[in-house]
Structure 1
Amino acid sequence: MSKPSVRPSRPFFSSGPCAKRPGWSLQQLDQAFVGRSHRTPEGKARLKEVITRSKDILGIPEDWRVGIVPASDTGAVEMVLWALAGERGMDVLSFESFSGTWAQDLRDILQISDLRVLEAPYGQLPDLASVDWSRDVVLTWNGTTSGICIPHKDVIPLHHDGLVICDATSAAFAMDLPWDRLDVVTWSWQKALGGEAAHGMLALSPRAAERLSKAPQRPLPKIFRLSGKKGLLEAVFQGDTINTPSMLCVEDALDGLRWAEKIGGLPALQKRSRENLKLLEAWVAKTDWLDFLAEDPASRSSTSICLKIVAPWFEKLNTEERLKVVKHLTGLVAAEEAGYDLASYRDAPAGLRIWGGATVDAEDIQKLLPWLEWAYERTLKEFSV
């Protein structure tokens, strides 16, 4: 085929940091509270506004506590695991890179004695029926590196004895999260609303807050501490952050939240993401060299959309050769400024990953697809297939 002539207006398809919202520019940050302390009343008010707007858009129950924490979603998850793990037995679901990291930390670093790791390869979920909900359960709602998501809320029983700790960084603001079935939920600014990186969000149910209010069972560095001698550090959930945040990033987060409210809140965000997935589903259905990494359509992500190359010639290659093919294919598209950051995550099977969250316009995905087809044909010739 000939080289396409139309490029995406915003060729940004990275799964983190993700594309900025439509119409974003640096001018949106002109009112950032820079050069001042974040601990002033005005600084705390900006941070509290991020918390309040996030809570409202996501539909988080009023009695939950929401706070801003260091080190993105990774920091939020680690804070909770280090503070909570070990009081009772734990089940952890491991089915892609980051969920595998949580399992490794619990097993090898924290060395939880009563730990069950429920594993599945890329493209599948562990046996959800085997989860013991009387224990603490650690799960990733959407696997950013595999494109696999929890299919529905009924997976988790409404009443459970343990705490359900949910890494939702690539699901928040795009998928329905069952707040009445979760106890700890984490996400970051850099995913679904395209915020700047380095800051995480942490939401606690009343049960989780009660557990955390107890003195920590192990020594923790200051940036991990959510409780002290007097119980839960309530100030964290009022905008008084543990460490110094970037007020530029705070302003950027507020910009994304205001945009989400302007277009219709969570329903509108979800609709945009689902439309992006539908476009790719229609294209993959008529494309003979690609398929979804998710084997079950019910667990197919609408944000981190992961695709595998299923051409017979590609499947005969070893891992190193496959990576070279993908690097070449995605490099051709990037060189034409038609799409950036399209290769699968480094630990995942070699393939493509296209972010389909709400900040990506469906028309840009539509314009990307001919470039992928063109690059694939060029790659076939390059590798003499």
Structure 2
Amino acid sequence: MHPNLKPSNPNFSSGPCAKRPGYDVSKLDLSVLGRSHRATIGKKALKSACVDTAKILGLPQGYRVAVVPASDTGAMEMAMWSMLGERPVDVVYWESFGQGWATDITKQLDLEDTRILSADYGQIPALEEVNCDHDVVFTWNGTTSGVKVPNADWIDENRKGLTFCDATSAVFAQEVDWNKLDVITYSWQKVLGGEGGHGMLILSPRAVERLESYVPPRPLPKIFRMTKGGKLIEDLFTGATINTPSMLCVVDYLDALNWVESLGGVAATIARANENLATIEAFVAQQPWIEFLAQDSHIRSNTSVCLTLDMSPEQVKSVIKLLEEHQVAYDIGAYRDAPAGLRIWCGATIENSNLESLLPWLEWAYHSVKKQIL
């Protein structure tokens, strides 16, 4: 017999992720809908998205925040196309999205003076080998591998290069050393459970200096341009977006930021993700048939938790299908390029009680498939 208690919210997707507990779209401030993002009301909402982000995250003085097109991917592409090429580049990756940045840099930007440090899924490269006199491109948390950097100790405070960090599955869920980062990107649909299509770009003063002093030897599409006449377009960092944003998505993001503040800030959302990971760790420790893809706990993600089962890929698919048919868990299959297994999102919007309800079902589904009792 299967368990009786189901998660009240079966959404464990790694993006778009579950909405915050208690979310109600009808409670959003919809006064901006149908209004121009250039009108006073629209500019106020977009400026709040930038200013409130900086305040809640505790960004260092002088760091700038902008809302940009095309999610985290757009923010990263915008930064790389605009700033890379001034000096050699070290690309550090251990999963598919980081590998994608390496491909862009070597195949699209065609930067020949590029060094790649990589590792297989579940592992992490030797970070101490990174040369911080080069520009450094990396993901803080590998969404498709469940592996994160343990800290930023490997980044030199006196670096000559810039650090470009894709932090989309880390911001609001993990301790991030902002002073070690010059370009930070993330998207709303991860830890905060926001909507897709918009990216957040954070720049340090050193990154701004690069933008104003370096002209890349390539044409830049309009949506990538952050300078005019050799000077930063400051309006971008006060809510004057390059193209038209969805104001519904903007107020949805502001609602998520208000939720973070109501919990007590980023420390509270980090604690929620840590509690969720601990629940899965306790379960895995008791089961011989399931393991973390990231076996080293120091590099194990508390958001994109990736698991392997002692089953064939076809059997794993059957487990996933069985859980979905029973409306227990949606979208928890491993990323298509990763080893066969499960990927359970454990970010701050996931209620720990829902994970506790999911795990007995996971055990039931595993044994059911193993015994072919479908």
- TM bucket (normalised to shorter chain) is over 0.9
The match for 1:340 among 289, 309, 330 is: 330
2:206 aligns to what SS in structure 1?
helix
Partner deviation per Cα, 1:2-33 (whole Å, 9 max, x = no partner): 21100111111111001100000121235251
- Whole-Å separation in 2 of the counterparts to 1:228 and 1:351: 48
Q: Is the 8 A contact 1:165 1:183 kept in 2?
A: yes
Code of the residue aligned with 1:325 in structure 2: it is: Q
The match for 1:361 among 340, 351, 359 is: 351
Match in the other structure for 2:139: 140
Q: Structure 1 unaligned segments of length 5 or more: list them.
A: none
Code of the residue aligned with 1:350 in structure 2: it is: A
Match in the other structure for 1:155: 154
Partner deviation per Cα, 1:107-139 (whole Å, 9 max, x = no partner): 111110100010100000111111111100001
Q: Is the 8 A contact 1:216 1:227 kept in 2?
A: no
Distance 1:212 1:362, change over 3 A: same
Task: Please report how far the alpha carbon of residue 41 of structure 1 lies from its aligned counterpart in structure 2 after TM superposition.
Answer: 1.5
Distance 1:7 1:219, change over 3 A: same
Match in the other structure for 1:250: 250
**Over 4 Å off, 4+ runs:** none
Match in the other structure for 1:228: 228
- Whole-Å separation in 2 of the counterparts to 1:258 and 1:153: 28
- Whole-Å separation in 1 of the counterparts to 2:114 and 2:133: 13
Code of the residue aligned with 1:326 in structure 2: it is: V
**How many pairs does the alignment contain?**
373
Q: Structure 2 unaligned segments of length 5 or more: list them.
A: none
Q: Is the 8 A contact 1:174 1:273 kept in 2?
A: yes
Match in the other structure for 2:179: 180
Partner deviation per Cα, 1:211-268 (whole Å, 9 max, x = no partner): 1124443101111111222421111101000010000000100010000000100010
Counterparts of residues 201-350 of structure 1 (less than 5 Å): 201-214=200-213, 215-309=215-309, 311=310, 314=311, 317=312, 322=313, 324-350=314-340
2:153 aligns to what SS in structure 1?
helix
- Whole-Å separation in 2 of the counterparts to 1:28 and 1:14: 24
Match in the other structure for 2:99: 100
- Whole-Å separation in 2 of the counterparts to 1:273 and 1:368: 16
1:154 aligns to what SS in structure 2?
coil
2:178 aligns to what SS in structure 1?
coil
- Whole-Å separation in 1 of the counterparts to 2:118 and 2:105: 14
Code of the residue aligned with 2:256 in structure 1: it is: G
Code of the residue aligned with 1:51 in structure 2: it is: C
1:69 aligns to what SS in structure 2?
strand
Match in the other structure for 1:165: 164
1:132 aligns to what SS in structure 2?
coil
Task: Please report how far the alpha carbon of residue 383 of structure 1 lies from its aligned counterpart in structure 2 after TM superposition.
Answer: 9.0
Q: Is the 8 A contact 2:84 2:216 kept in 1?
A: no
- Whole-Å separation in 2 of the counterparts to 1:199 and 1:62: 24
- Whole-Å separation in 2 of the counterparts to 1:43 and 1:277: 38
* % same residue: 52
Code of the residue aligned with 1:245 in structure 2: it is: P
1:353 aligns to what SS in structure 2?
strand
2:32 aligns to what SS in structure 1?
coil
Is 1:374 matched up with 2:336?
Answer: no
- Whole-Å separation in 2 of the counterparts to 1:63 and 1:46: 21
- Whole-Å separation in 2 of the counterparts to 1:359 and 1:125: 27
Match in the other structure for 1:13: 12
Is 1:120 matched up with 2:110?
Answer: no
Q: Is the 8 A contact 2:85 2:216 kept in 1?
A: no
Code of the residue aligned with 2:180 in structure 1: it is: R
Match in the other structure for 1:44: 43
Match in the other structure for 2:188: 189
Code of the residue aligned with 1:276 in structure 2: it is: N
1:201 aligns to what SS in structure 2?
strand
Task: Please report how far the alpha carbon of residue 154 of structure 1 lies from its aligned counterpart in structure 2 after TM superposition.
Answer: 1.0
Q: Which moved more, 1:156-165 or 1:354-363?
A: 156-165
Task: Please report how far the alpha carbon of residue 62 of structure 1 lies from its aligned counterpart in structure 2 after TM superposition.
Answer: 2.4
Q: Is the 8 A contact 1:213 1:227 kept in 2?
A: yes
- Whole-Å separation in 2 of the counterparts to 1:290 and 1:54: 38
